[in-house]
Structures are given as structure tokens and as C-alpha cells.
Chains A and B, each alone.
Chain A
Amino acid sequence: MDSRQHKATFYEEITPNHRWFKFNLREVWRYRDLVILFVRRDFVAQYKQTILGPLWLILQPLLTTFVFYIVFSKIAKISTNGSDPFLFYLSGITLWNYFSDCLTKTSNTFVANAGIFGKVYFPRLVLPISIILSNLIKLGVQLLLLLSVILFRWSFQGLTPEWNFYVFLFPLLILILAILGLGLGLIFSSVTTKYRDLAYVLTFATQLLMFATPIFYPLNFAQGFLAKAIALNPLTPIFETFRFTLFSSSNFEVVGLLYAFGLSVFCLMIGITLFNKVERSFMDTV
């Protein structure tokens, strides 16, 4: 090969300084094939050596819904604002699974991939982004499940359709969830590289957040101080809106959604800032 073909057109500089906020989407775009390959790897690796394979994507929310149905509807008798309890739980679980998977899986980006990160450079954001995408595919499958259960109930079990046109807000809801999950995940992944304690905090915090989100109860079920606290949870308006569009049973407030969106974007900015800072030196501390 002729050496002139390798004439350098590419220039870069390595310095200790970094810009505080730099999403560097262009570089991530250059590595888009890698994003896709990581998504693929996650799927293939996850269901290898399981008999049911991707069927678990559907079984997991169904089984959880069943447990919720027994515990919260039959035993604790918590109201679902008149909507069908099974659909109520399934819709909540579907959304929650997406958020919590995004959060927990991005939150150990650095620690879990130290082996790769220590040997080769690629924009580190590729990994969390690939996680968000592969979870999006999972969400798609689980939404199909939700849709089929809804259609089944409507056509064969005499349930009256109560959805409304706000259902087209759905992509926005998912976007907010993804931003929030990614943002919080980036924050935790950055801080846990040095202080592993945060990994334990996260497990606990996720659990707490699940109870503070109207997944198996409607927002108006909570009273007094707790109701205010739950309303402050940015996930609340997302879940409420989702239920509103499907069952017309909950409240729909634009302010709540804007609040959730604003807070999510704020988390993402903090997350990216910390991530950019940590990605440059975490190999020395991990």
C-alpha cells in the first residue's frame, strides 16, 4: 500500500483539560455501528442457554402482574380507580420495567466494562446509549403484549374501550423516561467508580422509587403528606398520563409532564457532565 494513502487528515489533541459539558454526539455517531453491535450482543448473550429464550420478555411482566393482582387487588384491596386491575398493573409494570432497566443497567457502565475500557478507547457513551436502545426493543415487545391483552379484554371479555387521542403522547412519555433513566444512570455510574457505596444506595433507592410511583395504586389513593411527596416524583405524571390515555381513569396535567421533562433533562445534563469528567480518569480509580 502506498504511504501517501495514509496522509493524515485527522487531528486530535490529548490534554488534561476537558470541557464540562460535551455530549460529543458526532463521535458517538461515528461509532453507531458499535452501538448496534452492543445492542445485538446484549440480546444474544442474554437469552443464550435459556429454554424459553426471548419468551421471558413476555412472561416476566405477566407473572409480575399476576402477583400484583393477587397481593394488591385481592388481598390489600387497593382501588384502581375503576379501571380493570389486570390492565392497570400490566401497564404500570411495563413502564416501570423500562425505566428501572435503563437506570440499573446504565448505572454500572464503568465498573462492569472496566476490562474493555482499560484496553481500548471508544466514546464511552456508546455503552449507556446501547443499553437504552436495547431496552427500547424490549419495551416494544412488552407494549405489544399490553396491546394484545387490552384487545383481548375488549373483544372477548366485554370491557369497554376507554382510550383517548392523547395516546399519541406516548412516544414523549417514553422519551422522558429514557432521559431520566439515562441521566440518573450516568450519575450513579460516574460516582460508583470511586465510591462503591453508591451501588448499594441505588438498589435501595430504586426500590423506594418504585413504591413512590403510582404503579400498583392510583395517585389519588395516597393522602396528605405522602400524596405531595409522590406528586413530586417526576415519574408520577408519566405514569398518570399513560393510564389516562389508555383508561381515561387518571388525571392528565400538562404542568406535571413539563415538570417531569424539565427535571429529566436536568438530570441528564448533570449525568453527562459527571460522565465526561470520570471517563477520562476512571481507569486510575476503578
Chain B
Amino acid sequence: MDALKIEGLYKEYRLGELSTGTFAHDLNRFWYRLRGKENPYEKITETNDRTKNTEGEYVWALEDINFSVTQGEVLGIIGRNGAGKSTLLKILSKVTSPTRGSIAIHGRIASLLEVGTGFHPELTGRENIFLNGAILGMTKKEIRSKFDEIVAFSGVEKYIDTPVKRYSSGMYVRLAFAVAAHLEPEILIIDEVLAVGDAEFQRKCLGKMKEVAGEGRTVLFVSHNMTAVKKLCNKGLLLEQGRVAFMGSAEETVQAYYTQNTEVIKTFQIFENSASAPGAMGVYLKKIALSPSDPFIDDHITLDFEFFDAENRQKIAIAFDLLNQDEMVVFGSGATLKSNDSIFQATCYFPKNLLNEGTYSIHLYVNSDGYQPLFSLPEAIRFEITERERTHGFLGKINGVVRPELTWKTI
């Protein structure tokens, strides 16, 4: 039986600021509707592609979404930022309504787009459990019957009659999650924002999801964490620019996601001659390449550089910054190169177990022998480091910019 069936779902958003033009548009729309005509602004609505700066004022955040979820299925929804995942969740949670289309839902639905919604700092832990539970759709009776369980799960028994503004942030999140974890809807919608926080919390969150799924309830899980999606979900849905790009098993969908994203991954650049190559003042890029092109955390990574020495400079100094997906420089490094047959050549070796999983880019700087900047090349390389699949223990992403392998001594 279908727990959820989505047919022809569209969602339109207005770009830019609301201003006096909004009022004029509203009046115009109203006038068209009065005469039974179609919304005049829907015609200029464009496909959601945030990389292009388009002229239109309206954009489809979701476009012709059709799929159904069978009861008991755990569906992982993945896609790049801005692909429409959050919009879909918001519509399913009834936080906002679709522009067109329909969703048929069989069963009580609960969505966790955030934990601790409605928590009031002045109220005690006990009062907040009741308030938050009721906001999430539980009755007082239901909450009372689960109260002890919730408190035990949260581990803040001692402070249950203290206002939550005196809680540490960790206690606050634990209490909030404890309430959410005791919801018993037939369909549960979970946003990946739940998976941020400390490792302990992630483990609890993912563990609870597994438990819920094991009970035969339907779960929709939106995530960036491919490992967790593969492990927890049995089906997957890939969104791309507001449309369904792929739907299949979780495994296949994750694969499709990686294939889709190879466009932005650029692990080498090779130029045959200096004419077309980036560069300046007699130094031009010949080759920059990463190997392996698809590294795991515990791989040795090497970065090869070659430059044309067109003006016989003999010596240059190169450097690079390695940036993570937040555009933060993780580290920089550099070396002085001597030319041989009018070619500069160098290889840089990264130790294994250095970088955490994620996408990184290399910003290349080329300077003269006297450290005068010649040219720089942002995003000369863009690559992704992935984690080898873990089959047991904690499945989520381990926090941190770096992922060193440390030595542990345990008794």
C-alpha cells in the first residue's frame, strides 16, 4: 500500500525582494483570477538552476515531482544544495503549500525539520517536554505516558525542573531530541539537520531512525551523508534542479548522485601548448593532476605539477592552498622549481589519513624566483575524498576538518 503518493507537484518561488512591485503583481494576479484566467506570472517561471543568473522573477523550486512511497519503506532523498530537498520536506510537513499538484497521505505524519521547536527558555525541562510534544502533535495523555521514558532517554533527570535557559547546549539538544524520538507517527520525515551536533547525538539519532524503520513505519530521510543513506534506506530519490533525476534502490541512487557530481569534480588539467594554457609572463600551466582521482581517506594522494618555461626563467616558486567545501584554507604548501628542457616539474605527496571526507579544491599560486606573483589559478583542481564504507559502529560523518589516524591505547 502506498503510504504517500505525490502527483505532478510544483512549487514556485519569487526571487528577489518584496517591494511595491509585489503589490502590483498581487493586484494583477487577483484581476486575472477574477476573470478566470491563468496566473500571468507562471508563464515566466524558470527552471531552478542557481548557477545561472536568470532574468525571470519567479522560479520553480520543484517541477513535476511524481513518486510514491510504499508503507514501511525508508526513502533517502538526496541531491545537491538547492536541488529542492528542503522545499519538498516543507510541503510534506504542511509548512508551506504546493503551487500545483497533490500529495495523498495514508497515515499520521510527523516531521522533524528541527529539534526543540517551540522550546521556551523560561520554562523548565518538564514544561518544555509537554509544550514541544504538543507542538509535534502529541496529546497531553500520550506525553504523560511516555514522560519517564523521555526523561531517561535525555539523561537530564537532575535538571528537569530547571528552566532550559540554564541548560548547556548539549543538554538542550538531548532533551529536545528525546521528545522527538518518542513520537509515534506512521510516517516520519527527518531532515539531515538532525544529524549535526556531536557524534554521540548523531549516533542516537541514526540509531533511533533504524529502530523506527525496523518497526515497519515509513520514513523519509533527507541527507548529504551518503554512507548513512546507503546503510539506513532501502530506496533512494535523487533531486536535481527541482526535478526527480533518479529513483531506485538506495545504492543506485547514491551512485547516480556521484555520477551527476563528476561535472564539478576536476582532478586534472592538461594543456598541449602554452598558447591555450592559463599563465602569464612566460610561465604557463602544462599539467596539474591528482592521483588517485577518487581518493579514500586512507589513500596516499599525490599532486603533479608541470609548467612551460616559455621565457627561460629557469626558476619559479609555486605554492597552493587547499580549501575545503566551506572555502576555508585547510593548509598551504610551496616549493621552488627548476626548469629542465623548458619544463618545470614537481610532485607533492600528501600523507594518508590527513583530510576528512568532503570536497576540496586547490588554489594554485605561481611566483617568480624573487617571489613576485606571476599568476594564480583558483580551483585548479577540485576533488572529493570519501570514506571507505563502514559496516558497523558509528556510520555518520566524523566531525572535524582533518581526519588523522591517532594511536589509541585501551585496556
Contact = CB atoms under 8 A, between A and B. Distances in A.
Contacts of A18: 97
B122 A14 contact: no
B106 A8 contact: yes
Interface string A42-56: 001100110000000
Contact of B123 (A14, A41, A118): A41
Given A12-B105, A121-B94, A284-B13, A45 B186 contact: no
B334 interface: no
A266 B204 CA distance: 52
Interface string B107-144: 11101011001101011000100110011110110000
B127 A44 contact: yes
Contacts of A36: 140
A281 B3 contact: no
A281 B97 contact: yes
Contacts of B118: 116, 120
B95 A118 contact: yes
A114 to B, nearest CB: 11
B117 A6 contact: no
A200 B135 CA distance: 30
* Interface range on chain B (Cβ under 8 Å from partner): 35 or more
B227 to A, nearest CB: 26
Given A16-B98, A33-B140, A281-B96, A11 B117 contact: no
A65 B120 CA distance: 34
B95 A117 contact: yes
A165 interface: no
A121 B216 CA distance: 24
A76 B102 CA distance: 64
Given A8-B3, A45-B122, A45-B123, A120 B134 contact: no
B99 A16 contact: yes
B135 A14 contact: no
A119 B107 contact: no
B146 interface: no
B71 A8 contact: yes
Given A10-B186, A120-B136, A122-B135, A3 B217 contact: yes
Interface string A274-286: 0000001101110
Q: Which 5 A-B pairs have the closest CB atoms?
A: A3-B216, A8-B107, A121-B94, A280-B97, A34-B134
Interface of B: 1, 3, 13-14, 18, 22-23, 26, 71-72, 90-109, 111, 113-114, 117-118, 120, 122-123, 127, 130-131, 134-137, 139-140, 163, 184, 186, 215-217
Given A11-B106, A14-B102, 8 more contacts: A10-B106, A11-B105, A18-B97, A41-B131, A119-B95, A120-B113, A281-B97, A284-B14
11 contacts: A6-B184, A13-B103, A14-B94, A16-B98, A16-B99, A18-B97, A37-B131, A118-B90, A118-B95, A194-B18, A281-B96
